[in-house]
Structure 1
Amino acid sequence: MMKCRKINHFHMGIELGSILLLPEGVGLFPAVLLFHEYTGLNDVTVNHAKRIAAKGYAVLAADFYGVRNRPSSVDEARVIHRIYRNDRLLMRERSKACLTALLDQPEVDPSSIYALGFSFGGGAALELARTGFGLKGAASVYGYLDTSHPVVPGEIKCPLLAIHVNSDPVVPEEHLQMFECEMHSADVDYDLIRLDNAHHGFANPEDDVFDENLAEEMWDTVLGWME
């Protein structure tokens, strides 16, 4: 039976309440650090985590904002996510704090950690990879591709996967071009998948643009890439 437990941890004096999902069996398990969309840690993120855990991974659904800072509305979410979107070094430090919480779990294999995120969380996963930690891989699904601190050769030590929605108003073509230039300049091993006839948020069942078929294809791609 899948196990679930809450992990309380701290960063810069802020209490974070992340959720750990463990698959059946006895670890050490390969693990996924899962970052939520800009609306914060919610049932959508936890259900994503359950899906990944069913494939044999320990998954930490990270609480990026903190237990006392979770937005109660879209308007609040738009304000709080900007704190990190506009300060990428802070985003990196918060990402590392969540990674530390995952690494502290005794069931986790520290040599086999992936980062995965959607939208805001995709940006966080890529920023974590930019810190140089030895992840097995980092994947972004319609995530932010721009950064204020582009990497140089040798700084990213894992392969990347970016699933990008063409004509995405949240992640414009300009940011995609910046990302590709950064990756090529730093000689990073990365895969880029560009989707037509898709919308930002297509993998979120609570979003009006949710596309079940496209979401299933995405999960096949991401899980296959990790395996």
Structure 2
Amino acid sequence: MIKSEALIYQDPTSGNTFEGVICWDEDLAGQKPGILVSHTFKGQSDFEIGRAQELAKLGYVAFALDMYGKGKRATAPEEADALMKPFLDNRGLLLNNILLALDTLKKHPEVDETKVGGIGFCFGGKCMLDLARSSAEIGGVVSFHGIYDKPGMEHQGDIKASVLVLHGWEDPLADPESTVALGHELTERNADWQILAFGHTGHAFTNPAAKFPEKGMYYKETSNRRAWQTMINFFEEIFGRI
């Protein structure tokens, strides 16, 4: 049986409180690999919780994290932009909050802290890439239709995480030039990386609620299915079959 429960956690430095949802299969004994699930610019929602539950069915402990803070969720794009802006302006804040979520996941009693990974969607993809850029101790990260700009922070040394980028070739928020630039960046940091681009696919291709083709944001069933299967294979290679 899949168990989903709210997980309240706090930043000891700022005192800010966050509320995520953690999911796992109660019928699987012992500690299991943990996977972060990082949300879009709207904040944590049923979409990310659903992805966490699907990961739990695969045998992982999945944590639909909270980047913005307890109760901070958007219902309109303008609200979402306002919530996201401080993290775009201050990538150190972004990294702090994603590292806090990682630490919270590692400390959960169901999680094998030596086996952790993460996935993220849109803004969450940016979060996963910044986590990898920081050389955090994490097995692998997956960006679904993420954003690829560098954080402007002087990270040193090799990227330790394996990196999988799942990309819509017609994504207006991540053009081919930025995608190629990300490949060069990951190569320079000696990362184990893969970029898989899906043709005739725009931004937000994993979300059935994305219905704005005129803006290049729309659900694509085939790309979503292929991307999820690629993610499954990626984590099986890193953590083994569960």
Give the TM-score of the pair, scaled to structure 1. Answer: 0.94
**Quick one: which amino acid aligns to residue 4 of structure 2?**
C
- Partner in structure 2 of residue 6 of structure 1: 6
Query: Could you tell me whether the CA contact under 8 Å between 1:44 and 1:205 is conserved in 2?
Result: no
Q: 2:70 & 2:88 partners in 1: Cα distance?
A: 19
**Range with greater deviation from structure 2 (29-38 or 124-133):** 124-133
SS at match of 1:26: coil
- Partner in structure 2 of residue 149 of structure 1: 153
SS at match of 2:231: helix
Aligned-pair Cα RMSD in Å: 1.4
Query: Could you tell me whether the CA contact under 8 Å between 2:198 and 2:223 is conserved in 1?
Result: no
Mapping of residues 58-137 of structure 1, within 5 Å? 58-137=61-140
Change (3 A) 1:218 1:202: same
- Partner in structure 2 of residue 21 of structure 1: 23
Query: Could you tell me whether the CA contact under 8 Å between 2:40 and 2:123 is conserved in 1?
Result: yes
Q: 1:151 & 1:163 partners in 2: Cα distance?
A: 23
State the 4+ residue runs in structure 1 displaced beyond 6 angstroms. none
Gaps of 5+ in 1: none
Q: 2:176 & 2:155 partners in 1: Cα distance?
A: 20
Query: Could you tell me whether the CA contact under 8 Å between 1:151 and 1:186 is conserved in 2?
Result: no
**Quick one: which amino acid aligns to residue 6 of structure 1?**
A
**Range with greater deviation from structure 2 (175-184 or 17-26):** 175-184
- Partner in structure 2 of residue 216 of structure 1: 225
**Range with greater deviation from structure 2 (61-70 or 141-150):** 141-150
Gaps of 5+ in 2: 212-217, 237-242
- Partner in structure 1 of residue 185 of structure 2: 182
Deviations 1:28-76 (A, max 9, x none): 0111011011111111111111111100000000011111322232210
Q: 2:222 & 2:93 partners in 1: Cα distance?
A: 35
Q: 1:195 & 1:30 partners in 2: Cα distance?
A: 28
- Partner in structure 2 of residue 165 of structure 1: 168
SS at match of 1:47: helix
Shift of residue 220 of structure 1? 0.6
Shift of residue 151 of structure 1? 4.2
Query: Could you tell me whether the CA contact under 8 Å between 1:33 and 1:116 is conserved in 2?
Result: yes
**Range with greater deviation from structure 2 (141-150 or 32-41):** 141-150
SS at match of 2:7: strand
Shift of residue 106 of structure 1? 0.6
Q: What is the number of residues matched between the two proteins? A: 226
| Residue of 207, 212, 219 corresponding to 1:204 | 207
Shift of residue 27 of structure 1? 2.5
Shift of residue 200 of structure 1? 0.3
Query: Could you tell me whether the CA contact under 8 Å between 1:33 and 1:59 is conserved in 2?
Result: yes
Q: 1:122 & 1:77 partners in 2: Cα distance?
A: 16
Query: Could you tell me whether the CA contact under 8 Å between 1:146 and 1:176 is conserved in 2?
Result: no
Query: Could you tell me whether the CA contact under 8 Å between 2:32 and 2:110 is conserved in 1?
Result: yes
**Quick one: which amino acid aligns to residue 106 of structure 1?**
P
Shift of residue 173 of structure 1? 3.0
SS at match of 1:85: helix
Q: 1:20 & 1:152 partners in 2: Cα distance?
A: 32
Q: 1:41 & 1:119 partners in 2: Cα distance?
A: 12
